[in-house]
Copies of this chain bind each other. A is one copy, B any other.
Amino acid sequence: MRQIVNQILRQLASGPKDFWQLIVKQDYSVKEFIHTLKELNNSGVIEKEGPLYKLNTKNLRKKPHKYLESKCPVCGIGIDLDNDFVYLKEQFRNLVRGRPLPSEEYDQGFMRQEDTVRRAVFMYERGDVEDKNIFILGDDDLLSLAIGLMKLSNLITVVEADRRIVDFINEKAKKLNLNKLQAIEYNAMKELPSDLCNQYHTFVTDPVETWLGFKIFVGRCIQSLKGAGCSGYFGLTHLEASLKKWYEFQKFLINCNFVITDILRDFSFYPEDDNKWQRFYSTYALYREMPDAGLPKIDWYRSSFIRIEAIDEINSPRLSSVSSSSEEGIYFDEEAWATPRKR
């Protein structure tokens, strides 16, 4: 289902609404909105009574889920988890107990639990969760479980190099009966298996922040998408990716036919205590330059959350397998000052 259709129908699930109440809760142009409204009216899925539109339950294949509110009541921009999503925050907190800790094997480190839930809810708000096939490349944040708990998606596939995380997700999914969620062992250095290509509506990843790393991670995710109208989400720091690098990334996305629709600065913080990565610090390039920085007493590492959408047929990037000898070049460049090196 197109995002705009979903954004209209879920508003009507809680009762009749007028033209303006509907247009304010959807993301597209007046022109696209009016066309969609007429289309839904003509197909008999909705009907008009006086100034109000309402669902025509007879002609609905499936009743849409009611819209859940998440807009921040203070600033109107970010996500408020203490409204309709309290249940999700609490369920997720219980679910992630005993999660695998970051390993030196991979460039790992998970964000605060509430930030993971906020990601899921921001995607929901955009219409990228309900009835969608969602592809997640790398999931030490366990976002798949947060989205899975909403029970709104059609399919959630996690591809992940770390066996511990694959097992953790599959075990929890089984226990909670989230049968639309599956995690598969896959290393992004390899080509994406063909049965995962062109199957998904939206993707999420936290790319390695070298130029090559970004291209590989986001590029493989792009290959997983069906086409026009599909969306993607990724985290990006300012800390290990300078604006010059952001610029190169954005040019790459434009060339693939994506428009950038949202950039939320410092959306996700990485908790020092929970990650227990103090022992990694001594291997950071940061300490070579600043040996007396000490260990941080605050959560300082954070990333922006970015959404893109394909405006037309996707111009998929060509990517081949990466040999293990060039892996170093994927994980490190002259800006990777807070990435652990193997000893």
Mark A residues whose CB is within 8 Å of B.
18-21, 23-24, 27-32, 34, 37, 51, 72-80, 82, 118, 238-244, 246-247, 250-251, 254, 257, 259-267, 286, 289-290, 292-294, 296-300, 302, 309, 311-312, 334-335, 337-338
Contacts and interface: CB of A to CB of B under 8 A. Distances in A.
- Residue among A247, A257, A299, A337 having the largest count of chain B Cβ atoms under 10 Å: A247
A290 B31 CA distance: 10
A332 to B, nearest CB: 13
Contacts of A334: 31
Contact of A29 (B27, B238, B250, B251): B238
A74 B74 CA distance: 7
A202 B250 CA distance: 21
Given A29-B241, A290-B34, A76 B76 contact: no
A79 B74 CA distance: 8
A261 B31 CA distance: 28
Given A254-B250, A263-B262, A74 B72 contact: yes
A261 B290 contact: no
Could you say how many copies of this chain the assembly holds? 2
A75 B82 CA distance: 10
Contacts of A267: 76-77
Contacts of A265: 27, 77, 261-262
B264 A77 contact: yes
Contacts of A338: 30
A311 B77 contact: no
Nearest to A334: B31
A267 B77 CA distance: 7
Contacts of A302: 24
B29 A266 contact: no
Contacts of A20: 293-294, 296-298, 300
Contact of A23 (B37, B300, B309): B300
Contact of A254 (B30, B118, B247): B247
Given A24-B299, A30-B338, A51-B294, 15 more contacts: A19-B296, A20-B293, A20-B300, A29-B241, A31-B335, A72-B72, A76-B266, A76-B267, A78-B78, A243-B309, A244-B312, A250-B250, A250-B259, A260-B260, A261-B263
Contact of A24 (B28, B259, B264, B298): B298
B242 A28 contact: yes
B243 A300 contact: no
A299 B21 CA distance: 9
